[in-house]
Amino acid sequence: MSISNTPSLLAFLLFVLLISGFEASAGPRRSLLRSLGDGPDLHDAAVDLNSSNFDRVLKESPAAFAVVEFFAHWCPACRNYKPHYEKVARLFNGPDAPHPGIVIMTRVDCAMKMNTNLCDRFSVGHYPMLLWGPPPKFASGKWDPKQGKSEIQSIDDARTADRLLNWINKRVGSSFKLDDEKYENENTLLRNDSDPEQIARAIYDVEEATAGAFDIILEHKMIKSDTQAPLIKFFQLLVTHHPSKRCRRGSAEILVDFDNLWPSDLFSVDSQETNILQERDRLKSYSICGKEVPRGYWIFCRGSKNDTRGFSCGLWVLLHSLSVRVADGESHLAFTAICDFIHNFFICEECRRHFYDMCSSASGPFKTTRDLSLWLWSTHNKVNERLMKEEKALETGDPRFPKVIWPPEQLCPSCYLSSISKRTGTNQVDWNEDEVFKFLVQYYGKTLVSSYKDAILSRNISDELVADDITTSTNAVAVPLAAAMAIAFASCAFGALACFWRTQQKNRKQRKNRG
């Protein structure tokens, strides 16, 4: 480097030092690029859609609202608008977004020939053009500016990032800011004690918890020779009664290939290291709840702090949903499957021990769905009452979502016969258990799955839904041969549909292998 370049180098180094100081003074976790504007290393936050994925992505989105930008890549105004749109998209899209699961920000390039009909569907007459509405309304929908009432509407004031965010804030009833960081300005957190319909969005958190539990099991190598049978029983419960259809399918795909994924020689000491590597390779193609899950964020179960709610909330919702979906004759087998799953695969030692102690002290066997549902509800309240005291003493709870005896009276007034406040800060409630059971069935059954268009409980499943589940799943339930004898009775007890499905799929796979 020549001497003449030295002043330039010194000036550059001084600039870097000044910038570093600016970043440090901006406060913890403040992004330098967020402070200065968009940087070249930031990936696009907005989701690129086209005619092949537009309907599917928006139909399956957990977000309550969607923004679709129609643009053309050759349009100078569109290129200049992109940084503004990206600033807002980073607030809502992806696991690192400050406010995920509320708005999905997307874009469609109308200059691509494959998108011509899609852009015509939404009467795109200028670039960029922004539309707003519920994601399912865009899927297979259309928009015409001349039509009357429509849930899809044009965003008419979005020339800058500030103006677009202000427009969104008015529609959502929020006060988001462009410099919000994660777990800041959480004024739209769901309050599950005030609106029973909000449980419908928990279906996405149930999927997240299911995928998370499976990942933990794999990460900690918890599948051993003595834990295979409990895991298979729980998978069978998921295949038949999980509230999410894609989790039922994903569980079935894993279950049908269980012996191939975890053969008996996997657990031999001599070849354990090699087998672990082979296991990882085999599992790369399996997604228990679909390729989009885990998404990396929570919606109904989102806490106001990073270390509260989330996975434990999603897992509880899953267990409650399973408890109300099983039939009377399956209730005790479901109880055993749930207890054994927590005992063998829940990574929190103290939580696992407490839960299994309550399983061991349960008076059984459970003969009805009501018995199982009320036992799990009572157990959950006992856990909440214990944690309520600990979190209050240690100040470790979520200030926005403190533990409560559930359901609160405003959510189910008929569940309460009387309530007396205790010195410990909790209430002693005289419950109307018939009303509690009705509430649980509605809340964790029909309402939970309503957003997933899967509201028919499996005990009332129709012939059309049976056919749909059989024909649209690549694999279905087939009991692994190595474990079949030990759990044959349990596997068939989770419904006639599951047994029929297992038999058909087993025969189908064998015929395919012979061919």
Range of lowest pLDDT (119-123, 206-210, 221-225): 221-225
Cα Rg for the chain, rounded, in angstroms? Answer: 26
Please list, in sequence order, all residues whose beta carbon lies within 8 angstroms of the beta carbon of residue 135, skipping any fewer than 6 positions away.
Answer: 58, 59, 61, 63, 65, 66, 104
If you write DSSP's letter for every residue of 450-499 in order, what string do you get? GGGT--S-GGG--HHHHHHHHHH-SS-----HHHHHHHHHHHHHT-HHHH
Assign 197 a pLDDT band (cuts: 50, 70, 90).
low
Lowest mean pLDDT among 144-158, 177-191, 301-315: 177-191
Does residue 466 come out as left (phi exceeding 0), alpha (psi in the -120 to 50 range) or beta? alpha
In this predicted structure, what is the pLDDT of residue 348? 85
Instruction: Give the burial class of 412: count Cβ atoms within 10 A of its Cβ; 0-12 exposed, 13-18 middle, 19 or more buried.
Output: buried
- From 223, 234, 454, select the one nearest 333 (Cα to Cα): 234
Cβ–Cβ under 8 Å, residues 372 and 323: yes
pTM here? Answer: 0.69
Known catalytic residues are 75, 78
Q: What pLDDT is recorded for position 308?
A: 81
pLDDT digits (tens, 9 = 90+) for 315-353: 999 999 999 999 999 999 999 999 999 999 998 888 889
Q: Residue 457's closest CA among 369, 330, 325?
A: 325
Q: Which residues contact 150 (CB under 8 A, 6 or more apart)?
A: 133, 143, 144
Is the predicted pLDDT of residue 7 greater than 90, yes or no? no
Q: Determine the 3-state secondary structure of 308 from DSSP.
A: coil
Average pLDDT over residues 352-362: 91
For 96-121, what is each residue's pLDDT tens digit? 888 888 999 999 999 999 999 999 99
What pairs with residue 153 in β-bridges? 132
As beta bridge partners, residue 71 has: 109
Q: Which residues pair with 198 in a beta bridge?
A: none
C-alpha distances (whole Å) from 418 to each of 56, 219, 428, 456 are: 48, 47, 8, 34
Determine contact, residues 99/188, Cβ cutoff 8 Å. yes
Tens-place pLDDT, residues 238-278: 999 999 988 999 999 888 888 888 876 655 545 555 455 55
pLDDT at 20: 43
| pLDDT exceeds cutoff 90 at 474 | no
Cα 341 to Cα 24, 223, 286, 288, distances in angstroms:
46, 11, 20, 16
38-42, 306-310, 420-424 — most confident range: 306-310
Distances (CA, A) of 103 to 108, 314, 484: 16, 21, 46
Least confident interval from 1-5, 24-28, 270-274: 24-28
What is the residue type of 181?
E
Cα separations in angstroms, 177 against 32, 92, 99, 186, 218? 17, 11, 11, 11, 39
